[in-house]
Amino acid sequence: MDELTLKALAKINLGLDVVRRREDGYHEVRMVMQTIHLYDSLKIQKIREPEIVIHTNLPYLPVNENNLVYKAAKLLREEFGIQEGVDVSLTKRIPVAAGMAGGSTDAAAMLYGMNQMFDLGLSRKELMNRGVKIGADVPYCIMRGTALAEGIGEKLSPLPPMVKCPVLIAKPGISVSTKFVYQNLKLDETTVHPDIDALISHIRKKNLEAICSDMGNLLETVTIPHYPVIAEIKEQMMKSGAKASMMSGSGPTVFGLFEDAQTAKRALREMKQSGLARQIYLTSIYNNRRQ
Contact with ligand ATP (CB under 6 A) among 100, 117, 257, 276: 100
Contact with ligand ATP (CB under 6 A) among 101, 162, 169, 218: 101
Binding to ligand ATP by CB under 6 A, coded x per residue (else -) over 36-55, reads --------------------
Binding to ligand ATP by CB under 6 A, coded x per residue (else -) over 181-210, reads ------------------------------
Q: Does 35 bind ligand ATP (CB under 6 A)?
A: no
Q: Distance between CA 248 and CA 283 in Å, rounded?
A: 15
Q: Does 102 bind ligand ATP (CB under 6 A)?
A: yes
Pick the catalytic residue: 17, 106, 137, 214?
137
Contact with ligand ATP (CB under 6 A) among 31, 38, 42, 69: 69
Contact with ligand ATP (CB under 6 A) among 17, 42, 86, 104: 104
Closest CA to 267 of 165, 172, 169: 169
Active site residue 7: no
CA–CA–CA angle 228, 229, 232 (5° rounding): 95
Q: Does 137 bind ligand ATP (CB under 6 A)?
A: yes
273 three-class SS: helix
Nearer to ligand ATP, 45 or 201 (CB): 45
Count of residues binding ligand ATP (CB under 6 A)? 20
Q: Does 67 bind ligand ATP (CB under 6 A)?
A: yes
Q: Which amino acid is located at 133 in the chain?
A: K
How far CA 136 is from CA of 101, 153, 174, 196, 223, in Å, comes to 10, 6, 24, 20, 22
Q: C-alpha dihedral over 87, 116, 33, 31, to 10 degrees?
A: -90
Contact with ligand ATP (CB under 6 A) among 103, 131, 145, 256: 103
Q: Does 262 bind ligand ATP (CB under 6 A)?
A: no
Helices (H), 169-249: 178-183, 196-205, 208-214, 220-226, 229-239
Q: How far is the CB of 262 from ligand ATP (least distance, A)?
A: 30
Nearer to ligand ATP, 104 or 236 (CB): 104
Q: Does 233 bind ligand ATP (CB under 6 A)?
A: no
Q: Does 113 bind ligand ATP (CB under 6 A)?
A: no
Q: Does 96 bind ligand ATP (CB under 6 A)?
A: yes
204 three-class SS: helix
Helices (H), the chain: 68-80, 102-117, 124-131, 138-143, 178-183, 196-205, 208-214, 220-226, 229-239, 261-274
Q: Does 106 bind ligand ATP (CB under 6 A)?
A: yes
Active site residue 137: yes
Q: Distance between CA 265 and CA 107 in Å, rounded?
A: 31
Element (H, E) at 29: strand 27-47
Nearer to ligand ATP, 175 or 262 (CB): 175
Closest CA to 152 of 130, 136, 134: 136
The answer to whether residues 202 and 210 touch, using CB atoms and an 8 Å cutoff, is yes
Q: Does 220 bind ligand ATP (CB under 6 A)?
A: no
Which of the residues are catalytic?
11, 137
Question: Which residues here bind ligand ATP, judged by CB under 6 A?
Answer: 61-62, 66-69, 96-104, 106, 137, 178, 249-250
